[in-house]
Chain A
Amino acid sequence: MAPEPEGVSASKTLNKSSSLSSLRSSSSSLFRDSWFYWHVLPSEWDIFWLSTALKLLLFPAYRSTDFEVHRNWLAITHSLPISKWYYDTTSEWTLDYPPFFAYFEKLMSIPASFIDPKIVDLNNLNYDAWSVIAYQRVTVILTELVLGAVLLKFIRGSVDPPMQRIISASIFLHPGFLIVDHIHFQYNGFMYGILLWSILLARNGNKLASGILFAILLNFKHIYMYLAPAYFIYLLRSFCLSPTGHILIKNFLSLANAVIAIFVVSLGPFAIMGQIPQLLSRLFPFTRGLNHAYWAPNFWALVTAADRVLLKYAQITGAKFAINESGVASSSRGLVGDTVFAVLPNIRPIHTFIITVVFQLIWLVKLWRSPSYKSFLTALTLSGWTSFLFGWHVHEKAVLLILIPLSLLSAERHAYFRTFIIASVAGVFSLFPLIFTPAESIIKVTYSALWITAVYLPLSRRVYEYPISILYVIMDTLEKVYLSGFPFLMLFVSVFPLARSRPSPGPSAMEFLPLMATSIYCAIGLVWSFMRLGYIYLQEETKYQGQLSEIK
Chain B
Amino acid sequence: MHKHDIKQWIVPGILAASTIVKFSIGLGTYSGYATPPMHGDYEAQRHWMELTVHLPFREWYTYDLLYWGLDYPPLTAYVSWLCGLVAHWIDPSWVALDKSRGIETPESKVFMRTTVVGFDALVYVPALLLFIQTWQGSRSKRTQDLALLTLILQPALLLIDFGHFQYNSVMLGFTLLAMNFFAMGNDLVGAFFFVLSLGFKQMALYYAPAIGSYLIAKCLYLGPTEGTHHFIRLGVVTASTFILLFLPWLPPFASFSAILQPIRRIFPFARGLFEDKVANFWCASNVVFKWKAWASSNTLVKLSTLFTALGFLPAVAGLVRAGMTMSTGDSSAAAKKNDDAPPAAPQMTEKKEPTPFLPLLPYALLTSSMSFFLFSFQVHEKTILLPLLPMTLLLSGAPIDSAAYSWGVLVNNVAVFSMWPLLKRDGLGVQYIATLLLWNRLIGHDPLKLRPKSFVQLLSMAVYAAAIALHLAEVVISAPARYPDIYPVLNVLISTPVFFLAWLWSIKCGVEVGWAVSGIGHHAQPSARQTSSEDAGGVTHSGLRQSGGRAVSLGYKRKSQQPQQPVTIEMDGAASRERGDKN
Q: How far is the CA of A131 from the CA of B5 in the complex (A)?
A: 46
Contact for A453 among B9, B109, B110, B583, CB less than 8 A: B9
Contact segment of B126-134, B277-285, B320-328, B434-442: B434-442
CB distance from B117 to the nearest CB of A (A): 9
Q: Give the most central of A9, A447, A458: most B CB within 10 Å.
A: A447
Please tell me if the beta carbons of B17 and A134 are within 8 angstroms of each other in the complex.
Answer: no
Instruction: Determine the distance from Cα of A61 to Cα of B20 in the docked complex, in whole angstroms.
Output: 13
* Inter-chain contacts of A142 with B (CB < 8 A): none
Could you say which of A3, A9, A439 contacts B27, with CB atoms under 8 Å apart? A439
The distance from the CB of A464 to the nearest CB of chain B, in whole angstroms, is 8
Judge whether B20 and A54 touch: CB under 8 Å. yes
The residue in chain A whose Cβ has the minimal distance to the Cβ of B8 is A457
A56 contacts B20, CB within 8 Å?
no
Inter-subunit contact A49/B441 (CB<8 Å): yes
Which residues from 543 to 583 on chain B have a C-beta closer than 8 Å to any C-beta of chain A? 580-583
B-facing mask of A103-142, CB < 8 A → 1, else 0? Answer: 0000000000000000000000000000000100000000
Question: Whole-angstrom distance between the alpha carbons of A134 and B28 in the complex?
Answer: 13
Which of A49, A440, A443 has the most B CB atoms < 10 Å from its CB? A443
A347 sits at the interface (CB 8 A):
no
Which of B2, B435, B442: most chain A Cβ within 10 A?
B2
CB contacts under 8 Å to B, within A42-71, are 42-43, 45-46, 49-50, 52-54, 56-61
* B window 1-39: CB within 8 A of A: 2-3, 5-7, 9-10, 13-14, 16-17, 19-21, 23-29
Chain A nearest CB, measured from B146 CB (Å) = 11
Considering the complex, give the chain A residue whose CB is closest to the CB of B11: A2
Chain A nearest CB, measured from B33 CB (Å): 11
With the chains together, A402 CA to B305 CA distance in Å?
A: 67
B-chain residues with CB within 8 Å of residue A50 when the two chains form the complex: 438, 441-442
- Please report the C-alpha to C-alpha distance between residue A181 and residue B113 in the assembled complex, in whole angstroms: 24
CB pair A57 B16 closer than 8 Å: no
Interchain nearest-CB distance for B96 vs A (Å): 17
Q: Which residues of B contact A318 (CB under 8 A)?
A: none
B434 touches A46 (CB 8 A): no
Place the interface of chain A in its size category: 35 or more
Contacting residues, chain A, for B27 (C-beta < 8 A): 57-58, 60-61, 439-440, 443
Q: CB-CB < 8 A to B442: which residues of A? A: 46, 50
* B496 beta carbon closer than 8 Å to chain A: no
Given A54-B20, A450-B17, the answer on whether A461 and B431 have CB atoms closer than 8 Å is: no
Closest residue of chain B to A54, judged by CB?
B24
Given A5-B3, A42-B581, A439 and B430 contact (CB-CB distance below 8 Å): no
- Does A450 lie within 8 Å of B430, measured CB to CB? no
Interface centre among A9, A58, A134, A449 (most CB of B within 10 A): A58
Q: Establish whether residues A53 and B106, one from each chain, have CB atoms under 8 Å apart when the complex forms.
A: no
A contact residues around B10 at 8 Å (CB): 2
Separation of A5 and B5 alpha carbons in the complex (Å): 10
Say yes or no: A1-B23 contact (C-beta < 8 A), given A42-B581, A50-B441: no
- Which residues does chain A contribute within 8 Å of B13, judged by CB atoms? 1-2, 450, 453-454
In the docked arrangement, what's the CA distance between A50 and B13, Å? 14
Fill in one digit per residue for A1-33: 1 if any B CB lies within 8 Å of its CB, else 0.
111111001000000000000000000000000
Q: Given A437-B106, A438-B110, answer yes or no on A57-B431 (Cβ-Cβ < 8 Å).
A: yes
CB of A5 within 8 A of CB of B6, answer yes
A457 touches B5 (CB 8 A): yes
Cα A454 to Cα B28 with chains together (Å): 27
**How far is B106's CA from A52's CA once the two chains are assembled, in angstroms?**
26
Interfacial chain B residues near A458, Cβ < 8 Å: 6
Q: Which residues in chain B, 27-83, are within 8 Å of chain A measured between CB atoms?
A: 27-29
> A405-448 CB contact bits vs B (8 Å, 1 = yes)?
00000000000000000000000000000000111101100110
A contacts, CB < 8 Å to B: 1-6, 9, 42-43, 45-46, 49-50, 52-54, 56-61, 134, 437-440, 442-443, 446-447, 449-450, 453-454, 457-458, 461
Q: Given contacts A1-B17, A2-B14, A438-B106, list 5 more A-B pairs with CB under 8 A.
A: A49-B441, A60-B430, A61-B24, A446-B23, A450-B13
| Contact sample, A vs B, 27 pairs, CB 8 Å cutoff | A1-B13, A2-B6, A3-B6, A42-B583, A45-B441, A46-B583, A50-B441, A50-B442, A53-B434, A54-B20, A54-B21, A56-B434, A56-B437, A57-B21, A57-B24, A57-B435, A60-B28, A437-B110, A439-B113, A440-B27, A443-B24, A446-B20, A447-B20, A450-B17, A457-B5, A457-B6, A461-B2
